Chains A and B, each alone.
Chain A
């Protein structure tokens, strides 16, 4: 292949230098700094703030200590909770609801379709703090909208944030994120030639058959991309904090909230950094899978 370039290598490097410096200062150095800190018992308060000790892998051993691994408020509990949260709210909730909404909106009138999409996207574009507060007000036991409606209907009110905190954040995240999957599937469906569906209609296929046998196989690549992206986002999401603060009794303390608590409420920088490194590794695995599939896609399309 003939090498073609507008600039000499040296000039190119010169142009790259500012960006490299910025990335170095704000990404690369903190990255290695976090790894370094995770091998110390550095804190913000107390003696170890000024004079931290090198503790080797002790922080990591503490995270994976089998004696406390499954205890509420410990790393293992948060990890398992996060996996459940991702499975239920992202993979089942967001992706399935998004798919359903996108599929239904293919067959409704344009007015209804745009109304539906506006409502769903509104949930997605509103700022997190606004949403968090709105949901908190909606679910409050004493004066919440939901309980007012229930009481109005003569039903017993529910203490949602205290009794069912995990299902609250699952439901919340599903509601919040379904718009992305819906939009992605929507555009994917539109890329399918209408003649396929018309032919199926002539053959008398039901909506379910069309979805299963025509639409889904054709948008498989989109589905995988969507699943991986929302998995990564949901894995790192912090917004449930606004609803429950990770409580009560750590019952909604997903990994991002756990990290925040360890590092910035308990001020255990060393241990917090260790959790950060573990999360980084998990995300790296997700990213590798995603990149792998993204690279494969053009081949598939051919």
Chain B
């Protein structure tokens, strides 16, 4: 009996040994992307285009590399949380999807290394860099060194449902709000025509994470002529701009119930805002171009039926013409997501080979066929999409970027709390701002903050 058991154990060991020949390298790549779910296009691209072609290319170079995509279906913040813990313990995928604004805090926490530190001089020799502008390179850089490669940049705007406008007697094609008041006026008219609807949605609350800060708070705050920091990089903790922004939230969610308050407070809120827009409950949703490219694309979970006729987009106005940041009439803010390499990867060369391969002209062109976008390489053609060309020409010239600062991530969380306490009706805008002020001072110290009130 015992010998039989032993032989069984031995053959099992042999089987395992043969299944994994010593020369094979296994790479893991992860992103918030699921085939048929969130960012489906990215998952399809990696699974169907990148991985087969990359394995082939490596084989031609005499290397046996297998790549496995882990499709992460949770929220952005959950992926960030997992990566932070993974990178701190030497675990995690070799290549991972990553939001550029997190890079400073990760780098200072020693959780990321620059591409050159990970993979060596081969990084600088990559021929792709000459096709990537300094501006887009900076999206995933900190103190001049790239820590990853961005897939591209984005911009934010108001997405509009023409059918809801029409039912309230408004012509969405001719409409472009020039002030917050005009924005609210349209929302009021739609609310009067359809009392059950939530005409205007501006993101707020903790559970949406950075989507609250970027798509909601920044988009309003920039319209008051302010940013989160002043010109010298100090955080503004008390100002008329913050107060006006919070009052706008209060008008939308508490005083006039123009937006869906539940969607800002519940855990799966962002998907609720998508569903509201899809189902014709929301007429105006402030979101990033991702919402058009991926979320509402035909075949996606939140696909808008008859999208070309039903959906359009408008620029986000400042409080009043000329009152926006730099005296602008309209405002927007941009960020960038891409991929980074795990500093603890066992196969730095292969990981870099994969990352650079993903950003090769051929692969990005292949991505265009699945999901058209403005790619970071100047030699990848922009597809003939009116949405992309229009947004690029009107929004990118007036856009703003978040501070490239290690504390921004924490401040952003405080911003989310501040908006949540106003939107839930718990605090007045004045009290919420006072709470924000105390929290920010506790994080960066009073000397790095300014009050203009």
Q: Say how far A49's CB is from chain B's closest CB, in angstroms.
A: 3
Complex contact B262–A71 (CB within 8 A): no
Q: Say how far A178's CB is from chain B's closest CB, in angstroms.
A: 27
Complex contact A71–B435 (CB within 8 A): yes
Complex contact B85–A45 (CB within 8 A): no
How long is the Cα–Cα vector from A165 to B79 in the complex, in angstroms? 26
B33 within 8 A of A: no
Contacts of B85 in A (CB 8 A): 44, 264
A164 within 8 A of B: no
Complex contact A267–B207 (CB within 8 A): no
Complex contact B409–A159 (CB within 8 A): no
Q: Say how far B302's CB is from chain A's closest CB, in angstroms.
A: 16
Q: Find residues 385-417 in chain B having any chain A CB closer than 8 Å to their own CB.
A: 406-407, 409-410, 413, 417
Complex contact A45–B109 (CB within 8 A): yes
Q: Find residues 144-165 in chain A having any chain B CB closer than 8 Å to their own CB.
A: 159, 161-162
In this complex, the interface size class of chain A, counting residues with CB under 8 Å from chain B, is 20 to 34
Instruction: List the A residue with the shortest CB-CB distance to B420.
Output: A249
Q: Summarize B's interface: helix, strand, loop or mixed.
A: helix
How long is the Cα–Cα vector from A293 to B126 in the complex, in angstroms? 72
Q: Say how far B439's CB is from chain A's closest CB, in angstroms.
A: 9
Q: Say how far B215's CB is from chain A's closest CB, in angstroms.
A: 19
Q: A68-B438, A73-B417, A266-B410 are in contact. Are A45 and B265 (CB under 8 A)?
A: no
Q: Say how far B297's CB is from chain A's closest CB, in angstroms.
A: 24
Q: Say how far B154's CB is from chain A's closest CB, in angstroms.
A: 23
Find A45's partner among B207, B409, B421 (CB 8 Å cutoff).
Answer: B409
A43 within 8 A of B: yes
Q: Say how far B206's CB is from chain A's closest CB, in angstroms.
A: 7
A47 within 8 A of B: yes
How long is the Cα–Cα vector from A17 to B28 in the complex, in angstroms? 41
> With contacts A44-B109, A45-B109 known, what are 15 further pairs, Cβ within 8 A?
A44-B111, A45-B105, A45-B409, A46-B109, A46-B406, A47-B108, A47-B406, A49-B109, A49-B110, A50-B109, A161-B266, A247-B266, A248-B265, A248-B266, A264-B85
| Residues on B facing A (Cβ under 8 Å) | 77, 81, 84-85, 88, 102, 105-106, 108-111, 206-207, 262, 265-267, 406-407, 409-410, 413, 417, 420-421, 424, 426, 435, 438, 442
28 inter-chain pairs at a CB distance below 8 angstroms, sorted by A residue, are A43-B109, A44-B111, A45-B105, A45-B106, A45-B108, A45-B109, A45-B111, A45-B409, A46-B109, A46-B407, A47-B108, A49-B109, A49-B111, A50-B109, A50-B110, A67-B438, A141-B262, A161-B266, A162-B262, A245-B267, A247-B265, A247-B267, A248-B266, A249-B206, A249-B265, A266-B410, A266-B413, A267-B84
